A and B are shown apart, each in its own frame.
Chain A
Amino acid sequence: EVQLVESGGGLVKPGSSLKLSCVASGFTFSSYGMHWIRQAPKKGLEWIALIYYDSSNKYYADSVKGRFTISRDNSKNTLYLEMNSLRSEDTAMYYCAKGPHWGQGTLVTVSS
């Protein structure tokens, strides 16, 4: 069974940094591209980043380009999202996803 478990969310101040993790199991992690998608409170879904299976290519939404970095460690079956210069508008539930499978999300709140 495919499982994706996000962690690392929390309450942070504007301008600070945070690193999210997503531990994958139930499939060959090193063979698949992975996504981060977020959802602000009571808002719709926003795709924010993709990393290829071998980290050879990374793509970002305009809203996070230059501030967020997606990465992965295939030896640990783990996907990461490093978030810098956080803003109030980055407040959201952050999901990792692979194909039809999504995690339960981790909540990031940016507030002074």
Chain B
Amino acid sequence: NTVMTQSPTSMFTSVGDRVTMSCKASQNVGINVGWYQQKTGQSPKRLIYWASNRDTGVPDRFTGSGSGTDFTLTISNMQAEDPAIYYCLQHNSYPYTFGAGTKLELK
């Protein structure tokens, strides 16, 4: 099975910061990666599909990039509503697998 390793596990940021988090796949998954945001007490919400495509209504401060085994989610200008856990998901091969998440908090 494909293992998705996310880093860092957690991070503290400030409003206005540029934030970068990583997701590494244990084997080539092409661009078959999505990024999900889960705020406390809410269902997850998909932000990015096919590694770099923003879902409808997602602010353009969220950018996904990468292919193969290395993927990145960048928030260009951290906002007060962005603290959450961010998960990557590979859907290149079965079983689909999520990373363990990166918890993003405000200082």
Contact A102 B97 (CB under 8 A): no
Closest chain B CB from A48 CB (angstroms): 8
Q: How big is the B interface, by class?
A: 20 to 34
State A99–B100 Cα separation when bound (angstroms): 20
Select one of A44, A47, A95, A104 contacting B100, CB under 8 A.
Answer: A44
Q: How big is the A interface, by class?
A: 10 to 19
Residues of chain B contacted by A62 (CB below 8 angstroms): 1, 95
Given A44-B101, A47-B89, A99-B95 contact (CB < 8 Å): no
State A35–B95 Cα separation when bound (angstroms): 12
Contact A47 B98 (CB under 8 A): yes
Residues of chain A contacted by B87 (CB below 8 angstroms): 44-45
B window 48-73: CB within 8 A of A: 49, 55-56
Contact B96 A47 (CB under 8 A): yes
State A47–B95 Cα separation when bound (angstroms): 8
| Cβ of A50 under 8 Å from chain B | yes
State A5–B101 Cα separation when bound (angstroms): 25
Write the residues of chain A forming the contact surface with B, with a CB cutoff of 8 angstroms.
35, 37, 44-47, 50, 59-62, 95, 99-100, 102-105
